[in-house]
Amino acid sequence: MRPVPEYDAKSWLLKALRETGHAMEALLWNVDDDVSLHRQPSADEWSCAELVAHMSAMERRFLDRLERIVRLDDPRITAFDADSIGPCEPLSVYEAIDDLTELRSRTVHLLWSLDDGDWRRKGVHPYLGPLTILQVAREMNEHDLAHLWQLRRLCDQMSAASV
C-alpha cells in the first residue's frame, strides 16, 4: 500500500488559486448568449458578468495586499468589505475574465516565488491584527470557492431555463 502524501498547504493553495480562473472561464463558455451573462437572477443578486468583474476587482486588492506584505516589514494593510466591492468599471464579461486571469497569474507567480519563511511574513490588518501570506491565500481561496459556487448555480439556472 502506498503511503498518503503529507498535506502541503502552500502547494494545495497554489493549485487551487491557479485553477479558479480556468473553472470560471469554463462555466462561462457554456452559456450560449451574452444577454444571459448580464441578466440578474433577482434584484439583490449579481449577474455572471458582475460576479466576474467583482472577482477581478477583488484580485487587485488581494494582489496589492500580498505585494505590500512581501515588500515591507509588518506593513499596515487596508481593510475592505468584499461584499461591497462591485465592478470597478463596465467591462464585458470576456474582458473581466481576461483581467481576472492576468491578475491571478501575477498573484500565483508571486506566491510561487516565495519560500516557506516568506509565507509567514505578516501585514497588520486594522481589525484582524497580523495576517500572514498563508492566511491571505486561504482567504482568497475561500472567496474563490464561494463565488465559483455562485457562478455555477447561475450557469446551471440558465441551462435549465434554456431547455
Question: How far is it, in rounded angstroms, from Cα 161 to Cα 155?
Answer: 10
pLDDT at 31: 76
pLDDT at 123: 97
C-alpha cell at 137: 491565500
Residue keyed to cell 458578468? 49
Q: Does domain 25-162 have CATH number 1.20.120.450?
A: yes
pLDDT at 158: 72
More reliable by pLDDT, 136 or 88: 136
Cα dihedral sign for 8, 99, 70, 68? negative
Query: In this predicted model, what pLDDT tens digit does every residue of 31-55 receive, in sequence order?
Result: 766 677 888 888 888 888 888 989 9
Contact 100, 56 (CB under 8 A): yes
Give the residue-averaged pLDDT of 51-80: 93
Radius of gyration of the chain measured on its C-alpha atoms: 17
Query: In this predicted model, what pLDDT tens digit does every residue of 81-103 receive, in sequence order?
Result: 776 666 555 568 888 889 999 99
How many other CB atoms are there within 10 angstroms of residue 16's CB atom?
Answer: 16
